[in-house]
């Protein structure tokens, strides 16, 4: 085939497929625009009907993906690609992709499990895989957490649905635990009295279940007193830190010593 024949062949291809390609490009641009409008309208509809915030990102992402696949299939039909053969190719490619992306498919299945059984939802505080934070968004494959120090953690849903996870927001009440140490020789009854008084002055500490306080250990350097109190879940950390500070300041004023590790060295004079 010489150069002139090649040019003629390209002209024939351009005449045959050029208009189809132009139409396909126009359909693609309009289709993407329509998909964006549909996604926006779908989101507004979910807002008006008070859909669960956990479901919104997942459903919007899933619907968008399905619409884009349908758009691509229609474009291929417009260009003139035989869809019967294309479907067979998609099936074979889908099997290969499924094997290659088994972890991704596991994350998708995990998303479905999370949305069905709701072990957590948007706004809950959870801990999993050594990360703790507030659930910001549940996506098709991942869950986005915001940590207390404002870091973003993206966790795969497959592991979140299969591995242990702690949800701190499920129960309305949480138990706060402290261990306060006093020096040997200090008055244990007075230490208990001070702790009970300080806890009673904090309205966030609930009277039911009652406060628990007991001597838990005769340690190497201190007599350790265990204290357990119940609070509403949102008050947990504020109560924990504040009572620590109050006990530290009050023990000194009450003549109670908070010990620290120390070593006594005795020198013996030998003759």
Report the pLDDT averaged over residues 237-265.
87
β-strand partners of 153 = 145
Report yes or no: 137 and 143 within 8 Å, Cβ to Cβ.
yes
Report yes or no: 254 and 246 within 8 Å, Cβ to Cβ.
no
pLDDT confidence bin for 221, thresholds 50/70/90: confident
Per-residue pLDDT for 99 more than 70? no
Percent of residues, the chain, with pLDDT higher than 90:
36
What are the structure tokens assigned to 223, written together? Answer: 């007599």
Report the pLDDT averaged over residues 157-166.
88
Report yes or no: 79 and 24 within 8 Å, Cβ to Cβ.
yes
**Torsion of Cα atoms, 138 then 144 then 150 then 151, to 10°:** 180
Domain with CATH 2.30.30.60 in the chain: 111-167
> Residue 129 has what pLDDT?
87
More confidently predicted of 74 and 130: 130
> CATH second-level architecture of 173-253?
2-Layer Sandwich (3.30)
pLDDT confidence bin for 127, thresholds 50/70/90: very high
What are the structure tokens assigned to 100, written together? Answer: 């290659």
Kindly report the CATH class assigned to 111-167. Answer: mainly beta
Average pLDDT in the chain: 82
Domain with CATH 3.30.70.100 in the chain: 173-253
> CATH second-level architecture of 9-100?
Orthogonal Bundle (1.10)
pLDDT confidence bin for 147, thresholds 50/70/90: very high
Per-residue pLDDT for 87 more than 70? no
Domain with CATH 1.10.287.1260 in the chain: 9-100
Question: What is the bridge-based pairing of β-strands 142-146 and 166-167?
Answer: unpaired
Question: Can you tell me whether residue 158 is helix, strand or coil?
Answer: helix
Summarised one tens digit per residue, pLDDT across range 4-50 is 666 666 666 666 666 777 777 888 888 888 888 887 777 777 777 66
**Gap between the Cα atoms of 69 and 75, Å rounded:** 10
More confidently predicted of 123 and 80: 123
Which segment of 61-65, 237-241, 243-247, 248-252 scores lowest on mean pLDDT? Answer: 61-65
pLDDT confidence bin for 206, thresholds 50/70/90: very high
């Amino acid at each position: 085939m010489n150069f002139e024949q090649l040019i003629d062949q390209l002209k024939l291809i351009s005449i045959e497929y050029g208009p189809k390609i132009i139409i396909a490009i126009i359909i693609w641009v309009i289709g993407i625009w329509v998909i964006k409008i549909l996604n926006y309208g779908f989101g507004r509809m979910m807002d008006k009907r008070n859909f669960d915030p956990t479901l919104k990102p997942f459903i919007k992402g899933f619907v968008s993906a399905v619409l884009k696949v349908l758009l691509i299939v229609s474009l291929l039909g417009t260009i003139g690609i035989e869809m019967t053969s294309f479907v067979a190719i998609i099936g074979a490619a889908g099997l290969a992709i499924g094997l290659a992306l088994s972890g991704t498919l596991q994350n998708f299945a995990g998303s479905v499990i999370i949305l069905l059984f709701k072990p957590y939802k948007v706004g809950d505080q959870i801990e999993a895989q050594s990360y703790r934070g507030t659930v910001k968004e549940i996506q098709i494959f991942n869950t986005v957490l915001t940590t207390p120090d404002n870091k973003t953690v993206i966790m795969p849903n497959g592991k979140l649905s299969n591995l242990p996870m702690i949800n701190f927001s499920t129960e309305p009440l949480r138990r706060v635990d402290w261990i306060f140490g006093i020096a040997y020789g200090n008055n244990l009854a007075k230490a208990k009295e001070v702790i009970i008084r300080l806890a009673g002055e904090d309205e966030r500490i609930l009277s039911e279940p009652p406060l628990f306080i007991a001597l838990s250990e005769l340690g190497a350097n201190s007599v350790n007193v265990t204290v357990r109190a119940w609070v509403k879940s949102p008050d947990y950390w504020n109560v924990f830190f504040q009572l620590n500070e109050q006990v530290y300041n009050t023990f000194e004023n009450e003549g109670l010593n908070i010990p620290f590790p120390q070593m006594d060295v005795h020198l013996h004079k030998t003759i």
